[in-house]
Amino acid sequence: MIHIYKKGINENTLLLLHGTGGDETDLLEIGKTIDNEANILSVRGSVQEGGMNRFFRRLRPGVFDLEDLDKRTKELYEFINEASKKYGFERKKVIAVGYSNGANIAASMLFSIKNAISGAVLLRPMMPRRDIELVKNDNTRVFIAAGTHDSICPPEESKELAAYLEPKNKEVKLEWINADHRLTYDELLVIKEWYLQKF
Ligand code: MLT
C-alpha cells in the first residue's frame, strides 16, 4: 500500500487513515498534534471512486460493499504486520487514527480481527457492518469523536457503534463534538488528553 513512514522517539505507532478523497498526507498534522513523538504510518486507501481514494468500495453513500470491506480490512491488517517487520516498530503498540472512511475501516478491523490494534481514535465513524459477531479485543481502547449534527455519519450510528464495541473492548469512550462532519481543533485537544493518559 502507498504510505508514509516516519520514525518517532517513543514506542507507539499512529496508523493514520484518511477520509474519502484524501491521501496519506492528510492526517499528518493531526497525528503530530496527538503524539509528536510517535512513529507515523500513514496509508493511502487503494480503492478508487471517481478519482477519489478510499479504503473500500461502497455501493452508494452510506451503503458498503461488505465483501470488499472484508478483503480490504484483511489487506490493511497484513500491511501493518509487514510494515512492523520492515520498519521495526512495536506491533503491539499500534493506535489507529481514522477519519470518516478511514475511521470506518479501522472500526471494521476492531469488528473482525482479534487484537489487530491496541487503540483506535475514530473521527466521525459509521457502523461498518451489522452482519457479524464481533471479536473480543483484550486490551484495545477506543475513542469515538461523533459530530452532534453530522449528516454523513449520523449520531444514531455513532451510538450504535459504541454499543457494539463496548462489550468487546477494554474501553470505549464516546465523545460528542458540537460539529458536523468537519473536525475541530478543540476536539483534537480532548483526544490528545485521553491518548496521553491511556498510551
Ligand atoms: C464511507 O463511505 O466510508 C462513509 O460514507 C464516509 C465517507 O463518506 O467517506
Average pLDDT, the chain: 97
* Dihedral pair phi/psi, residue 78, rounded to 5°: -60, -40
Protein residues whose CB sits closer than 6 Å to any atom of ligand 1:
19-20, 58, 61-62, 100-101, 104, 126, 152
- Residue 176 identity: W
Q: Which atom of ligand 1 is nearest to the CA of 54?
A: 9
- Cell numbers given for 85: 517487520
- Residue 91 region, left (φ>0) first, then alpha (ψ -120 to 50), else beta? alpha
CA distance 10 to 1: 24
| pLDDT score of 101 | 98
Q: What is the mean pLDDT of residues 51-62?
A: 96
Report pTM. 0.97
* Dihedral pair phi/psi, residue 162, rounded to 5°: -60, -40
Q: Which helix (H) or strand (E) is 86 found in, with range? A: helix 66-87
- Cell numbers given for 185: 481543533
Number of neighbours of residue 114 by Cβ within 10 angstroms = 13
Active site residue 131: no
| pLDDT score of 68 | 98
CA dihedral in degrees (83, 88, 91, 96; nearest 10)?
-60
* 129-164 confidence digits (pLDDT tens): 999 999 999 999 999 999 999 999 999 999 999 999
Q: Whose CA is nearest to atom 4 of ligand 1?
A: 101
Active site residue 100: yes
Q: Residue 79's pLDDT band (boundaries 50, 70, 90)?
A: very high
Q: What is the mean pLDDT of residues 40-63?
A: 96
* 84-112 confidence digits (pLDDT tens): 999 999 999 999 999 999 999 999 999 99
- Cell numbers given for 28: 499528518
Active site residue 150: yes
Q: Whose CA is nearest to atom 9 of ligand 1?
A: 101
Q: Domains of the chain (ranges plus CATH)?
A: 3-198 (3.40.50.1820)
Instruction: Give 55 Cα–ligand 1 centroid separation in angstroms.
Output: 9
